[in-house]
Amino acid sequence: MKKPIGIFDSGIGGLTVYKEIRRHFPEEDLIYFGDTARVPYGPKSPNTIIAYSMQNARFLLQQRIKILIVACNTSSAVALPDLHKITHIPIIDVIQPGSEQAVLHTRNGKVGIIGTEGTIRSNAYSKAIQYLNKDIQVFSKACPLFVPLAEEGWHDNEIVKAIAASYLEELLQKDIDTLVLGCTHYPLLKNVIRQVAGDQVVLVDSAEAIAVYLGRMLSEVDDGLSGKDEFFVSDNETKFARLAEVILDNQTFSLQRVRLYESWFVEDN
């Protein structure tokens, strides 16, 4: 039976995950949803991140997907238990694959994690890494300006380098030899992060790690798959398309906007 794989992210960053999956699995049908109306997720509270993640997942589940990939680290760190409550299909998050790669790569047992406020506050990476190897020391740092920089297309200039240097300073002082890019937007800033961190630090990119993970799960290929792509966003399709072209090396794609309705009430407490 022909069923697509669903991927969601808070915005454009998850395309780095999409790209790796498409490269490894050219025959699979993929549906991508980017919540560009409500990006960024990183600074939001856990309740709000959970509510938004559930809505994104429900939209993809309506498209009859066979596997759900949570390409957003913030959602992965905070919303996973709630996502498992609404579906029985397999869910792949980005925390587990990234953590496994970090444990594989570190030689001195000192791993740095960078991510959004929501991801870092959750301690999801520390827990996952120390579950795999309790002797590894994990040092974390939230980098809240990286998502706006990536979404604005400021990927490689002196200002981005200065911001990266400011964020990474305390991790580098801890003598880390492995740095997890714990947000799917951060691979877009990889050149700058590489320059600041230096060649001796291994950069772990969850986008690459997740494709390996997915391979284990896809034991059999669906009949009738055509390698079709569908892209949905909740806002700003023009801007998304412009940045997506850069990330996806001018691949052509169909893009549709999903509209949202909301109502408000004052919380009782």
Answer yes or no: 72 catalytic.
Answer: yes
Q: What residues between 7 and 36 interact with a second copy by CB under 8 A?
A: none
Q: What is the DSSP letter of 140?
A: E
Is 183 designated active site?
yes
Q: Between 27 and 152, whose beta carbon lies closer to a second copy?
A: 152
Taking the C-alpha atoms of residue 114 and residue 85, their distance in angstroms, rounded to an integer, is 28
Under the binding rule (CB under 8 A), the answer on residue 74 touching a second copy is: no
Strands 202-205 and 178-181: parallel
Q: Based on CB atoms, which residue is closest to a second copy, 2 or 58?
A: 58
- Cβ distance to a second copy smaller for residue 149 or 210: 149
Contact flag: residue 254 with a second copy (CB under 8 A): no
Nearest to 5 by CA among 214, 175, 189: 214
Cα(177)–Cα(151) distance, rounded to whole angstroms? 28
Q: Does residue 198 interact with a second copy by CB under 8 A?
A: no
In whole angstroms, the minimum distance from the beta carbon of 234 to a second copy comes to 8
Distance of closest approach, residue 90 Cβ to a second copy, in angstroms:
22
Q: Which residue has the tokens 């320059």?
A: 195
249: left (phi over 0), alpha (psi -120 to 50) or beta: left
Q: Which of 17, 68, 72, 201 is catalytic?
A: 72
Among 64, 86, 148, 169, binds a second copy (CB under 8 A): 148
Q: Which residue has the tokens 């587990």?
A: 96
List C-alpha distances in Å: 19 to 115, 154, 195, 227, 229: 20, 20, 24, 13, 11
Q: How far apart are CA 28 and CA 84, in angstroms?
A: 23
Nearest-angstrom CA–CA distance, 49 and 117: 12
Region of 42-50, 92-100, 189-197, 246-254 interacting with a second copy (CB under 8 A): 42-50
Q: Per rule CB under 8 A, is residue 236 in the interface with a second copy? A: yes
Residue 203 near a second copy by CB under 8 A:
no
Say which residue the tokens 């291994």 belong to.
202
Q: Considering the complex, what minimum distance in angstroms separates the CB of residue 67 from a second copy?
A: 20
In this structure, are residues 192 and 164 in contact, taking their beta carbons and an 8 Å threshold?
yes
| Count of residues of this chain found to bind a second copy when the rule CB under 8 A is applied | 40
* Residue 158 Cβ vs a second copy, minimum distance, rounded to whole Å: 7
- C-alpha distances (whole Å) from 82 to each of 19, 38, 133 are 27, 19, 26
Under the rule (CB under 8 A), what is the footprint of a second copy? Answer: 37-38, 43-45, 47-48, 51, 55, 58-59, 144-145, 148-149, 151-152, 154, 158-159, 162-163, 166, 232, 234-236, 239, 256-267
Residues tagged active-site = 72, 183
